[in-house]
Amino acid sequence: MTTLRSAWLLTTALLCFGRAGLSPAGAAAQEATDYAAHFNRGQESMQQMKFHDAASEFREAARLNPDYLPAQQALAVAYAVNQNFAMAWRQIRHLRQSKVDLPEEFVRRLRESLSESEADKQLQKIDSDLASAQKSAAEHPEDPALQAAWGTALGGAGDYAAALRAAERALVLDSTQPEAHFLLGSMLGGEPPNSEQAIPHLKMYLQHVPHTPENAKNITRAYAMLGDIYGRSGREKQALEAYEEGIKTATDEDELWNNASWIYSAAQDASLRNPQKALAYARKAVAMSNGKKAHILDSLGEALYANGLFDEAVATEKKAIALEPGEDIYADQLKKFQAAKDQAKP
């Protein structure tokens, strides 16, 4: 099942940048203290898994002192943790101009999530959307839909503090405005300390958003986020219901099939287990992902194990390990499957 996976292992990369000093020499400007304070608060927010707050703090530190490269590096990391991969690439390019780069492992993982050439296309759209949404919101300050769209554009450009304010303005104008609820739900849902606050926003979004083809992708994401939040807090039945609803709206989303499969295989609540359904869902997820995602192969291994197909479970888990050899959880899974296989021998 998908998890925050140690925040993409990027928190570790971030912490290596250290803390900024808070005592500028002599009569240095107050700004020097301010940028260091923002940087250190960003570090603390990252450790607390408040990723949007962290990005906002690093962004402000970089604005106050553009030459402070640790803040620029940390901002790239924070964008990536927030899955804003295009903006992470923009930061990397900015750093390259200063002949500074991020750890090779970070860049490799970023490239796996979004190629640099695809980032170019997304960045052009981000800039275009931002300019258009800003103009419309300024011309129609009482229009909640345009204020929400402005918030979405700000979020895409990585200005999360301003995005939050725009979404809140939209909800003052219309408490049911779906795009504002989706934006807030998305920002809060991926942060464990804040994820419970995302639930009412996601529910309000699903209740009020028009079910049109152009909204289908976000509707699916809302169900997926709800399922993940419920799953992380042990509410397996609600998580499964959310994933199943999501599958109804998008039958080609491998993560929905994968996460539902995991619950059917390994739910703590035995009444939710359905090994046959788990296996069918897992096979669908693997087919949709072309067998290229280790965590989906791991779910298939678990489903095979739940069905007593230990040989195939072992072989499948080995494929997951080949894709991500550094993941200890897959090695542990392989030991479990191998032990069951050995025990089942005549």
pLDDT per residue over 99-143, tens digit each?
A: 988 888 889 889 988 999 999 999 999 999 999 999 999 999 999
Average pLDDT over residues 145-152: 97
- Give pLDDT tens digits for 196-241: 999 999 999 999 999 898 999 999 999 999 999 999 999 999 999 9
Q: Are 181 and 168 contacting, i.e. CB atoms less than 8 angstroms apart?
A: no
Q: Quote the pLDDT of residue 102.
A: 82
Which residue reads 């994968």 in tokens?
Answer: 258
User: Which pLDDT band holds residue 33 (cuts at 50, 70, 90)?
Assistant: low
pLDDT at 7 over 60: no
- Least Cα distance to 291 among 259, 257, 327, 254 occurs for 254
pLDDT at 293 over 50: yes
Average pLDDT over residues 314-330: 93
Rounded CA-CA distance 277/279 in Å is 5
Q: Quote the pLDDT of residue 103.
A: 86
User: Which pLDDT band holds residue 17 (cuts at 50, 70, 90)?
Assistant: low
Average pLDDT over residues 60-72: 93
Summary mean pLDDT of the chain: 90
- Give pLDDT tens digits for 72-91: 999 999 999 999 999 999 99
Q: Quote the pLDDT of residue 64.
A: 93
Domains, in order of start, for the chain: 5-114 (1.25.40), 257-346 (1.25.40.10)
Q: Quote the pLDDT of residue 2.
A: 42
